[in-house]
Structure 1
Amino acid sequence: MEIAEEDYSYLAGMFPKEYRGRVDEFLDPRDLCSCQPLQPRRPTCGGVSNRYLGVPSLERSHPFLDSEMRRAVLVASVLSVIATLSLSTSVAAEELWIIKDGVLNKKALTAAATEVTKDHVSCGGETVDGLYVSTPHAMDRPNWARFTTAKSALGDCEFKVVFSCAVGRPQWRFPNITITDRARLYFWKPGSPILLSNNKMSLPLENFQGEIQNGPFDGSLHSMAINRVGDKLSCYYDGKKLHEQPIDPGVRLHLWFDALHTHIKIKSIKLIAEKLSDDLSTDFKSAAPIAEIFQGSGVREQPEYGQACRYRIPALATTTKGTILAFAEARRTGGADVGDIDAVVKRSTDGGKTWGPEIVIFDSMELSVNNPCPIVDPKTGRIWICMGRWNPYPTASQHVSYSVDDGKTWSKPRDITKALHDQMKPGDKIFIPGPGAGIVMTRGKYSGRLVIPMGFEPHVVYSDDHGETWKMGGRGGNAMGEARCAELIDGSLLFNGRTGTKKRALAVVSEGGTRDSERTWHANELPDPSCQGAVARHSWPKDGKPGLILYSGPGVTTARAHGTLFGSYDEGKTWPWKLVYYEGGSGYSDLCVLADGRVAVLFEKDGKSNLGFTILPSPPTTSPTK
């Protein structure tokens, strides 16, 4: 069957005006009479992937049709192609060239992506024969070739890079397209598959890896692309779709290219989208309002009270007067774990609505004070705090201080190291407490006991005389670190600690915290990206309802993110209830239960500089699985 010239002209006239002179780019009249599905001739249409539209051969399926009826069927077929082109026109509404024909457009990048400092150059390179050539060093400095786009994408979009890599390369991943906070599309080494990885991503996409015929290390130009059409996100290499997965069509995507430290030649980098936005942030949902009550200000040459490079390692407590106390490490000049670090606190007397100024509890000058661990004695009202000090690292000492005026002022720290070491069993080691708060036991003969959970290899340190003297208790097991504890019904202590297994470890130290744990197990419901977490008793069994123990920590294994509150209604055996309190970066945390049953959480928010504070509704009193 042949299509008459007038029929073809008639069909061409149905296309939008901007396409009428270019119909052959999209539609081959032979396709309309073949046994093959009808498809646009271009590989992609403005970022929209190929769509096989499934039009059967008219000659084979409708041999009895006259010319008018055949024309009608052809019209229906072409309408499908036009629908595709209409979407393509929408997708192509806005575009951003980062590199075009080897020429870098610095205005398309963030300021940080093109800065030149005494320590490094960003996106350094030169145009040679229509390619942008970037090397590991430029201007006698390391070259950070991170082409961070100054725009994000809304709606249907495509980010595409055409490039080639030198054959020789270091043995670590590069290059990659990054979708900020979601995933990274990269190659590991010559001969490796192409991978989409969600490692260290707050809103992780699904991982995948796909075999490819030729990697980018053969000196030839190759293309790598990510696009979103509707609610589908697809990855491409050399024009071939490798993977597709669901994605929210309404979320803003920030896509950029990272060449890392390698010899690379780039023909083009282009972002095309329905709409481009100057907002490069990711929208993270939260269960309740969050206030950043401690905010780091970056590296500082000199220490200054009230300012710190970073605030980390949170702890929370409520006083007998209802004041909320938020404790932290003030890392004055740098962000390292050991350095010029003070233990500090802020107070809120209105339920967390407003906060007073920073109060310094312990400044040991050049020595590092770490992991403030508070305990409020309900009988005396005295607020105790235990802190570790490196003398220097890795030799640690333990110090306690107290406040008798609701946390406004603090006593001179007292060194209890020798008293504890004199009681230690052979093989015992203690370093610094926590992180997070200690507890006061409330059950039976152990009622009133102050408990400090010591970190790294968990141990119990306790006092039965309201903090006057401190004793060594039992071990919490050596398969976990940075463990906090909660009291169980029988007077034992449940330790919940960090591991390297992607699951939280638990152990029970019985007899009021004095008898060593006999076994350690893992909680399948509690993810652990190797990060500290907090555990606390919310309520005891009463009126036929079970008690509740809470755990706060990252809710995914891929990153310190998705801060989540988990609940156990069977003394830590299972954790069926959970509430994500913040989708974004959520590191170390601590929690405390307020008088009305609501739960306050203090956590490292969006990195390792700021501490966010939020108050969550009281959890359900019974398990959601029953």
Structure 2
Amino acid sequence: MTDTTVPFRAGQEGYAAFRIPAVVATHRGTLLAFCEGRADSAADHGHIDVVLKRSADGGRTWGPLQVAASNGGGLAGNPAPVVLDTGRVLLVHIRAAASATEAAIVRGQVTDADGRRVWVRHSDDDGVTWSAPEEITAQVKRPGWRWYATTPGHALQLSAGRVLVPANHTLPPTGADTGAEAKYNSGHCLLSDDRGATWYLGYLDENTDGYVNVNETTAAELPDGRVYLNTRNDSPSPGNRADAHSADGGRTLVKPFRPQAGLTAPVCEGSVLQLRDPDLLLFSGPGDPAARALMTVRASADGGTTWRTAFTVDGLPAAYSDLVRVDRRTVGLLYETGDFGAYETISFRRVPVHRLT
């Protein structure tokens, strides 16, 4: 049996909309559910805060809303949390001016100061309080990159200690292509070998041929130590998902991203999570091929090569999601959904592991 709670509902607690969920479990067993609290509308720009709710009982109940990162009246978004081996929670996120729309950024009409910049802060008390934010843009964003976003969803710390944050960016258009439609989505990741003190760029996947353009990416470490990366693909290649592997902790890709036609999905973000007991790689995302609906968990027993449907939540509208291991018996799914639209709530679903195997 599964059970569902609703930590975030549009139009409540001072925000017009909540979007872009991310969830992690701390060493003490506290669940931290993050998302963007969009103050004035559901738009991707404007006054946006990274907000947080905490659960001490596996997602059955949630505490009061907290602001985990803000930018005054501007944008703080794309939360990418990760729980370190020390117990510290890192929160990598983006800041931008409220007026900086994606179209204007892609066209190069926004200054670097107002554009997408990268920040990090941390908590040593399970998300109750947070350190002062620190900007790391110069370490992880190359000159000339325009749009920039972390994950969405959780980041991860590899077994060797390295922190890996999937991300995406756009390149300036070339030749006669100058409009927002010439948005060359590209993929990269942020890496840290000192638990978030300093950062550098890992792999780059920059493809402007219109076949696979890497967008929102999620990652998991496989039992053999490879990193599996799965991305939203907006280009007309087979299907709307693509994936890749890294054998060196995210520094490079074994091969560039290639279509993953085994995952039926619309153009939308998805999440991956590697279970160790049992050995199973999970993917969450809408299962309808053409619409953001039918939230489904898929499973792979071969490192992402092939997939099967493991659990269908329901047939309602649904969009972005994130997966977390709650305990030995339970996986948690934090996802956007609603009765008539995908952005009415961000709900949390407890899924028994035995339902996935």
Range class of TM-score, shorter chain? 0.7 to 0.9
- Residues 460 and 476, structure 1, Cα contact 8 Å, conserved in 2: no
- Per-residue deviation, 1:619: 4.5
RMSD between aligned alpha carbons?
2.1
What count of residue pairs does the alignment treat as equivalent?
A: 316
Map 1:153-552 to 2 at 5 A: 288-297=2-11, 306-378=13-85, 380-391=86-97, 392-393=100-101, 394=105, 395-421=115-141, 424=142, 431-442=148-159, 447-456=160-169, 457-476=186-205, 478=207, 479=212, 480-500=214-234, 501=236, 502-516=239-253, 518-539=255-276, 547-552=279-284
Indicate the residue corresponding to 1:562 in structure 2. Answer: 294
One-letter amino acid matched to 1:599: V
Indicate the residue corresponding to 1:573 in structure 2. Answer: 305
Determine what percentage of the aligned residue pairs are the same residue: 34
TM-score, normalised with respect to structure 1: 0.48
- Residues 192 and 198, structure 2, Cα contact 8 Å, conserved in 1: yes
C-alpha spacing 1:608/1:621, structure 2 compared with 1 (3 Å): closer
- Give the 3-state SS of the residue equivalent to 1:412 in structure 2: coil
Match status 1:610 vs 2:317: no
Matches of 2:229 and 2:297, distance apart in 1: 17
C-alpha spacing 1:549/1:430, structure 2 compared with 1 (3 Å): farther
- Residues 476 and 508, structure 1, Cα contact 8 Å, conserved in 2: no
Indicate the residue corresponding to 1:582 in structure 2. Answer: 314
- Per-residue deviation, 1:451: 1.0
**Structure with greater helix share of residues:** 1
Relative contact order, higher structure (CA 8 A, sep 6+): 2
**Structure with greater strand share of residues:** 2
Indicate the residue corresponding to 1:268 in structure 2. Answer: none
Matches of 2:262 and 2:201, distance apart in 1: 32
Provide Cα deviations, 1:207-238, integer angstroms capped at 9, x if missing partner: xxxxxxxxxxxxxxxxxxxxxxxxxxxxxxxx
- Residues 476 and 517, structure 1, Cα contact 8 Å, conserved in 2: no
- Residues 477 and 520, structure 1, Cα contact 8 Å, conserved in 2: no
One-letter amino acid matched to 1:555: G
One-letter amino acid matched to 2:269: Q
- Per-residue deviation, 1:557: 0.8
- Per-residue deviation, 1:401: 0.8
Matches of 1:515 and 1:573, distance apart in 2: 19
- Residues 203 and 253, structure 2, Cα contact 8 Å, conserved in 1: yes
TM-score, normalised with respect to structure 2: 0.83
Matches of 1:621 and 1:334, distance apart in 2: 36
Matches of 2:190 and 2:329, distance apart in 1: 28
- Residues 336 and 346, structure 2, Cα contact 8 Å, conserved in 1: yes
- Per-residue deviation, 1:476: 4.5
Listed as ranges, the gaps of 5+ residues in structure 2 are 106-114, 170-185
- Residues 312 and 609, structure 1, Cα contact 8 Å, conserved in 2: no
Provide Cα deviations, 1:294-336, integer angstroms capped at 9, x if missing partner: 01118xxxxxxx3210000000000000001100100011110
Matches of 2:34 and 2:332, distance apart in 1: 13
